[in-house]
Amino acid sequence: MRARITGTGSYVPERVVTNADLERMVATSDQWIVERTGIRERRVVAEGEACSDLGVQAGERALKTAGLSPADLDLILVATCTGDMPLPSTACLIQHRLGATRAAACDISAACCGFVYALAVADAYIKTGLRHVLVIGSEVMSVITDWTDRNTCVLFGDGAGAVVLSAGEGERGVLSSHLRSDGSLCDLIVVPGGGSRHPPSEKMLNERLQYIKMKGNETFKVAVRTLEEIARETLAHNHLSIEDVDLYVPHQANVRIIKAVAERLGLPLEKVFLNMDRYGNTSAASIPIALDEAVREGRLREGHLVMIGAFGAGLTWASTMIRW
């Protein structure tokens, strides 16, 4: 029995923030942003639009393409680090709004790796007997972005993507997942405030601890190394070579990171899916958004081998091989 992706969906807010817009906010330039990140614009939520709102839209679209109703779902997993509130889980809010009355629901927190982690959990549950699992990556990164910090505000965007995994026989489906973490590198990407270590307070707000802090150069080096290592591990586990991969869908963080990984793997860029130029880094939402776009653009077809890879705060990194 394999967990097969039977439906994909995505949703991004209407508001577009371009690099030209950021030039009017901080000391930066379109050329600088594009050269260093590959990002040209990103989407930002409207006032009052929250993580669950994006996730519901993406989830409904994934269910529609899978030909399922919410009542068919056994489990809903939401990968996010920007949920509606500390509790309850955003997954429960989405479960209620979808009307998935039979489904259990919970969030998974692994930052930009969240979707790949959630996919692995869904795969494991399907192997225990569940039939249909909805996996959503939904993020409102704009709420934890310091729009006065030119080093980080150029990177992030809001959006949601979703897939439906269904139990099926045969060779198609998730072939393997590989998850890693290293908490000693937790300070590379961190939001220090808002939790039990630095609870909400006037002092926390004055020190702007509610926003993302990044060590960009160190993160770049670790990201390239870990993405290459986990990709090679995934290929070896499945007795595949890089030439066997039809499409590589990496976390859409930085085009220079992705190009460096592809070069190290010997993977031609035409086999790499890229869309961060339009959306920026949407954290856990980036890979499911990319998968949905790849399907709609005809770049993913039945029988294709697709490898996905991500790294994120924690530090976490992960990869999955799927026969579509």
Q: Give the model confidence (pLDDT) of 150-184 as tens digits.
A: 999 999 999 999 999 999 999 999 999 999 999 99
- Residues 22, 141: one domain? yes
Structural domain count, the chain: 2
State which H helix or E strand residue 276 sits in.
helix 276-279
Q: Are the beta carbons of 143 and 279 closer than 8 angstroms? A: no
CB atoms within 10 A of CB 201: 12
Tens-place pLDDT, residues 58-101: 999 999 999 999 999 999 999 999 999 999 999 999 999 999 99
Active site positions, annotated? 112, 251, 281
**What is the CATH number for 61?**
3.40.47.10
Asked which of 127, 155, 170 is the last residue of a domain, the reply is 170
Pairing of strands 41-44, 189-190: unpaired
pTM of the predicted model as reported, rounded to 2 decimal places: 0.97
Pairing of strands 41-44, 305-312: unpaired
- Residues 78, 205: one domain? no
Tens-place pLDDT, residues 91-134: 999 999 999 999 999 999 999 999 999 999 999 999 999 999 99
Strands (E), the chain: 2-11, 15-18, 41-44, 75-79, 104-108, 132-140, 158-168, 173-181, 189-190, 213-214, 247-250, 305-312, 316-323
| Per-residue pLDDT at 3 exceeds 90 | yes
| Per-residue pLDDT at 1 exceeds 90 | no
Tokens (6 digits) for 148: 């006065």
- Residues 162, 22: one domain? yes
Q: What are phi and psi of 217, to 5 degrees?
A: -65, -45
- Residues 124, 39: one domain? yes
| Per-residue pLDDT at 271 exceeds 90 | yes
Beta bridge partners of 8: 163
State which H helix or E strand residue 229 sits in.
helix 216-237
Please report the sign of the dihedral spanned by the C-alpha atoms of residue 49, residue 84, residue 276, residue 246.
Answer: negative
Tens-place pLDDT, residues 17-52: 999 999 999 999 999 999 999 999 999 999 999 999
- Residues 101, 53: one domain? yes
Q: Which residue segment(s) compose the domain that 271 sits in?
A: 175-323
